[in-house]
Amino acid sequence: MARFLKKTTKSRGLPPGTLVFIGTRKMEQTRLRMIDYNESSIVERELTDISECAANIPDNTVTWINVDGLHNPEPIEKIGQLFGLDPLMLEDIMDSSQRPKVDEYDNCVFMIMKMLRIDEATKRIYAEQLSVAIGKNFLITFQEQVGDVFEPVRERLRNNRKRIRSSGPDYLAYALLDTVTENYIRITEALGTQVEEMDNYLLNNPGKTVPAQINRYKQEFNYLRRCVRPAYEALLKIPKLESGLIKKHTLPYYDDLDEMLVKAAEGIDTYRDMLSDQFNLYHTTVSSKMNDIMKVLTIFAAIFIPLTFIAGVYGTNFDHVPELHYKYSYFIMLSVMFVIAAGMVVYFRKNKWF
């Protein structure tokens, strides 16, 4: 399946709000995990059904529910009913081809971001959709598959880090998005290092594989840019939200996310320009080497043209050639040819033609 666009034939003709999974199934079973915490306590458990927490979500704690696996609409629909989520939001959650965005609903703020990873075998970037619903005292995250990208945030909660345990779901959402945006920068730097290393041998050894490598890196940076740019545009909407679910004292942290996304975007643009320059440099280097080869061949051709002329004249089949029966004619002809060739080589070297 294409990385840039995904098939949406399953949802064609269906009414808005219909829960249809669009994407590639990455898990066999949907996994539900819940962390309920405040400054003094934390409860962490795995749920077999979302109804297990329906009756006892306290008001004095922050409840974080993480859903791994989007292929099954039943648990997502139950979560929507339990927390009063808009059907259009649930539809977007199950469509893994959504563009990064921030929307505001009556009882929550809804965000979509792309979590990225590099496949070490193929060196390609793959994206996983992350959907985040921020409520008054709850945070719900939806991932396509189980991953450990949020494990550092869970450790901070377990280790009773004061700021995250005493803050609301808006700060928890920031902490999660912070890990996502930091990964953008890490991936940009990792690819950028490989691009910079190409400069070391591009001038000296522009092999036939260079254009394919440049094209592959361009594809990866284009894909990376497609995830980072919309994320930056989406987060710019956060200070303009009117629900009050993102507290004023938390807004500076989201501004920090904007700065990190700008840094990543600038790095992407820089390396894309470098790849274009490298592609031009490759063709320039190849053309220069070809010109050197043609120059050498032309010099050899120029040297042998008069020699061929002399050999042609003295190789004619006329009976009356003055030097034909002279004893040293052959050696004189070779000497003249040698002197002409040597003189032309000296002349070419003096004019720095080779």
Inform me whether the pLDDT recorded for 50 exceeds 70: yes
* Residue 71 is assigned to a structural domain of this protein: yes
Classify each residue of 268-295 as buried b or exposed e, where b means 16 or more C-beta atoms within 10 Å of its C-beta.
Answer: beebbebbeebbebbeebeeeeeeeeee
Query: Strands 125-134 and 138-143: what pairing?
Result: antiparallel
* Residue 4 is assigned to a structural domain of this protein: no
pLDDT per position as a tens digit, 186-223: 999 999 988 888 877 776 666 777 888 888 999 999 99
- Looking at residue 323, which CATH number applies to its domain? 1.20.58.340
Catalogue the E-assigned strands of 51-99. 62-68
* Residue 10 is assigned to a structural domain of this protein: no
- Looking at residue 147, which CATH number applies to its domain? 3.30.460.20
Task: Give dist(CA 103, CA 348) in Å, integer.
Answer: 73
More confident residue, 66 or 1: 66
- Provide the percentage of residues in the chain whose pLDDT is more than 90: 38
pLDDT band at 296 (very low <50, low <70, confident <90, very high): confident
Residue 114: per-residue pLDDT? 93
Least confident of 75-84, 187-196, 288-297: 288-297
CA–chain centroid gap for 177, Å, is 18
Residue 320: per-residue pLDDT? 67
Which range marks the domain in which residue 256 is found? 17-284
* Residue 270 and residue 291 in one domain: no
Domain count, the chain: 2
The two structure tokens encoding residue 66: 């993480």
Residue 183: per-residue pLDDT? 93
What is the mean predicted confidence (pLDDT) over 119-135?
89
Half-sphere exposure of 324 (CA within 13 A, CB side): 10
The two structure tokens encoding residue 261: 């996304």
pTM of the predicted protein model: 0.78
* Residue 273 and residue 332 in one domain: no
Domain edge (last residue) among 267, 284, 301: 284
* Residue 187 and residue 165 in one domain: yes
* Residue 24 and residue 74 in one domain: yes
* Residue 311 and residue 184 in one domain: no
Inform me whether the pLDDT recorded for 176 exceeds 70: yes
* Residue 175 is assigned to a structural domain of this protein: yes
Task: Give dist(CA 207, CA 230) in Å, integer.
Answer: 36
* Residue 211 and residue 62 in one domain: yes
* Residue 11 is assigned to a structural domain of this protein: no
Ramachandran category for residue 352: left, alpha or beta (phi over 0 → left; psi -120 to 50 → alpha): left
- Phi, psi for 173 (deg, rounded to 5): -60, -40
* Residue 7 is assigned to a structural domain of this protein: no
